[in-house]
Chains A and B, each alone.
Chain A
Amino acid sequence: MATLNLSSLQALAFHRLSSSFPQSTPTLSFNFQPKPFANPRPISLKPYVSEKPRARVVALAVKSLGETEAVAVSPEDGQSAGELPSGSGVYAVYDTNGDVQFIGLSRNIAASVAAHWKSVPELCGSVKAGVVDEPDRETLTQAWKSWMEEYIKVSGKVPPGNESGNATWVRQPPKRKPDLRLTPGHHMQLTVPLENLIDALVKENKVVAFIKGPRSAPLCGFSQRVIAILENEGVDYESVNVLDEEYNYGLRETLKKYSNWPTFPQIFVDGELVGGCDILTSMYEKGELASLLKK
């Protein structure tokens, strides 16, 4: 009982530590989600009235929202390459009607706007950006607060994207597909021959890559290159780790006979072997792979 309690406490401590770690990473890029305001019209001292030196420094750190010019976001790719700064600071996203949708802070304003455009292009018409020269967390937060307060003062409300519970503008971590497993485990007796499983797999999926190691961390350079190419193509593909002796036991030898190809990785498209890393690379560089994947 004592041991269990100790483990439980350690787990909690670890969780606390791991959850607090991102907070201290200066390179972290994030969008701050504010707590809901108790009063939609908060009473706040104007910067020029306050005698506190820090407030003045913050006021100098970033232009006011009203003074900042808006930059149109390109309808093609969401990039405003030379116009939006890639530094740290605060930014406001306007829709095509000129209404503020979201005020955020970022370690890389251009990257954040590009990410927003990818997920909600219909809400990204133009952007105002205020670079913060000394981007510690407190200064960034103060700059963000000053823009929020300025907007609330003018409009009497919080931007829709900053309302409590609105997750539209929160950056979603990319989800990696898990590798496929051909069997329930090494100890299980197969009722279907492995070559039949392979055959069904490559014919039921557009793209299947048999690689050495998991797709998240391939164990050989050739498999790594294949995964990089498929990711660049943006194609939906399945991967199978041929070194997984627990769930893909016997796959390597069976697959060599099935495909008449003695090495790995092996890439199948539309049920047919395309080849290994060299051929995939060659097709990718010539643009043939993109054509094949569009059929």
Chain B
Amino acid sequence: MSSRGATAVLSRASRIRSKLQTALEATVLEVDDVSYQHAGHAAVKGSSDKETHFNLNIVSPKFEGQSLVKRHRLIYDLLADELQSGLHALSIVAKTPHETNPSK
């Protein structure tokens, strides 16, 4: 009950951040709500939830050796509940620490 109540109170951005951080142990995790840019978006008409579009920038060792498709799938799987409950679209940048600092 308390955890359910806590979930309801948290914003979508907080829930996204929490799920991704727990699973990916990210060194960089930027979660930007850009839903306002898609206001009036034809494909989103009828959606009562206003937190529909997010830009994600994630740096995580979990992406090592993974193709872009697999990285994005991993993120989508972690956010499956959000996608089922009104999250409409994600823009994703997913890199390994090595890719952000090739000289190391």
Contact = CB atoms under 8 A, between A and B. Distances in A.
Interface stretch (A142-150, A188-196, A269-277): A269-277
B90 interface: yes
Contacts, number: 43
Contacts of B73: 260-261
A12 interface: no
B43 A275 contact: no
B41 A262 contact: no
B72 A279 contact: yes
Contact of A275 (B38, B41, B72): B72
Contacts of A213: 42-43
B50 to A, nearest CB: 17
Given A220-B41, A261-B76, A275 B69 contact: yes
A182 interface: no
Interface residues of A, number: 19
A219 B76 contact: no
A220 B92 CA distance: 16
Interface in A196-233: 212-213, 219-222
A83 interface: no
Interface of B: 38, 41-43, 68-69, 72-73, 76, 80, 83, 88-93
Interface of A: 212-213, 219-222, 243, 260-263, 273-279, 282
